[in-house]
Amino acid sequence: MDIPGGLILDPPNLKPWRNVPVRRYISERFQRPTAFQNDANAAAFGESWVGCGRGLRSFVLFTLGTGIGGGIVVDGKIVEGQHSHAGELGHIKIEITSSRLCGCGQRGCLEAYASATAVVARVREALAESGQTSSLGAFSTFTARDIFQAADAGDRLAAAIVDDTARYLAVGAATVMHVLDPDAIAFGGGMALAGERFIARIREHVPQFAFPTPAQRCEIRRAVLEGNAGVIGAAGCGRLLLHR
């Protein structure tokens, strides 16, 4: 990719450990201080700043979309980790035998079971198995939203897949509780738009997997900024930079 101004990014030759000075480039180009942040981290920061995590000391967000992203905010700061890989919540391992392949190349990640893409794949696989019937079988294509609607309308296969998805996400939430024990864990992104009933299902499953105290006290919430969380969070990161 040739960016006007002389900086050349050459993806085929990029190594994972090679730093690309995007922030410095933009800052020099526009002569402004520049914040640079991962989208899910920015969304977590947005929810923590003015959304469902407002006023909390420690807050974690799972973003449920085609993949699963995550972000951790403690004392007003995004926890980025020593190597910028903290908060990769979609790659919490929830299964180590016969496990599904994740987009990251490993197996058994939460994302491979509970992202919108994975939910559709799991329904397709269930439909292909003998004896499984569903209203969704009449359609050549369907989305995670269709599956949630079918579950609400009483489709048993869809309801079972949705409940298993809530259970997988509860395992992810419990893991976060055991690592960080935050004030609250929220779920956002396209699939959380399925609504409070889905979040309530996750909440119900958490005590099976978490220690009793965090299971009782760590709140499971639905994110409120919807599609704006990332851009609001990015603005918040920029604001922090200016007021540092």
Q: How far is the CB of 100 from Zn ion (least distance, A)?
A: 10
Q: How far is the CB of 42 from Zn ion (least distance, A)?
A: 20
- How many Cβ atoms from other residues are within 10 Å of residue 156's Cβ? 13
Q: Is 201 in the site for Zn ion (CB under 5 A)?
A: no
Q: Which is nearer to Zn ion, 91 or 122 (CB)?
A: 91
**Among all chains, which residue has been given the structure tokens 């640079």?**
36
Q: Which is nearer to Zn ion, 102 or 229 (CB)?
A: 102
The Cα–Cα gap between 89 and 77 comes to 17
Q: Which is nearer to Zn ion, 117 or 149 (CB)?
A: 117
Q: Which is nearer to Zn ion, 109 or 194 (CB)?
A: 109
Q: Are 185 and 179 in contact (CB under 8 A)?
A: no
Q: Which of residues 106-125 bind Zn ion (CB under 5 A)?
A: 106, 109
Contact mark string toward Zn ion, 70..109, x via CB under 5 A = ---------------------x----------x-x-x--x
Return the structure tokens found at 44.
Answer: 């977590």
Q: How far is the CB of 219 from Zn ion (least distance, A)?
A: 26
Q: How far is the CB of 165 from Zn ion (least distance, A)?
A: 16
The Cα–Cα gap between 226 and 61 comes to 12
The Cα–Cα gap between 207 and 143 comes to 30
- How many Cβ atoms from other residues are within 10 Å of residue 115's Cβ? 27
Q: Which of residues 208-227 bind Zn ion (CB under 5 A)?
A: none
Q: Which is nearer to Zn ion, 14 or 104 (CB)?
A: 104
Contacts of 205-209 spanning 24+ positions with Cβ under 8 A: 205/166, 205/167, 205/169, 205/170, 206/170, 206/173, 206/174, 206/177, 208/167, 208/170, 209/170, 209/171, 209/173, 209/174, 209/175
Q: How far is the CB of 150 from Zn ion (least distance, A)?
A: 27
Q: Which is nearer to Zn ion, 72 or 109 (CB)?
A: 109
CA dihedral 172, 174, 177, 178 (to 10 degrees): -100
Q: How far is the CB of 113 from Zn ion (least distance, A)?
A: 10
Residues engaged in binding Zn ion (CB under 5 A): 91, 102, 104, 106, 109
